[in-house]
Amino acid sequence: MHEIRNGWIKLSKEYGYEPATVAIAFAVLPQVVTKLLLGVSTPAEVDRILEQVSTEINPQIWQDAQQRGLIRNDIVLPPVRGPSESFGDSATTIWIWIQIEIWILF
């Protein structure tokens, strides 16, 4: 298990991302994961997650992760776009619905 975790950390850093940013981006890939639940306890954590969610991730990272054995081969990944369809200036939009329920127990 540590080998996989360390592989993700190394790959994330090679691409210049924080591992948590890559994890969140992976969680919202179409057809890979259907739901994402993030727990936060402070306003600073909400800000950090919103920043991570808005980070554009180079789609080649998923192919590299699969080649390194970090993603199973039976997982269908979105195709990597060609140069004319790069994620650079025309980023894919990720919509996230946030529902906050606060329970105060006295």
Structure confidence by residue, pLDDT tens digits, 51-96 = 887 888 898 999 999 999 999 998 888 776 544 333 333 333 334 4
pTM attached to this predicted model: 0.67
Query: What's the confidence (pLDDT) of residue 32?
Result: 56
Q: Which residue has the tokens 């190394």?
A: 10
Report whether pLDDT(105) > 70.
no
Rounded distance between C-alpha atoms, residue 5 and residue 60, angstroms: 19
Contact between residue 61 and residue 23 where contact means Cβ atoms under 8 Å apart: no
Question: What sign results for the dihedral spanned by CA atoms 80, 86, 91, 92?
Answer: negative
Q: How confident is the model at residue 42 (pLDDT cuts 50, 70, 90)?
A: confident
Place of tokens 């994890």: 23
Among 82, 87, 80, which Cα is nearest to 64's?
80
* Structure-token pair, residue 89: 């200036």
> Residue 32 burial (CB < 10 Å; 0-12/13-18/19+)?
middle
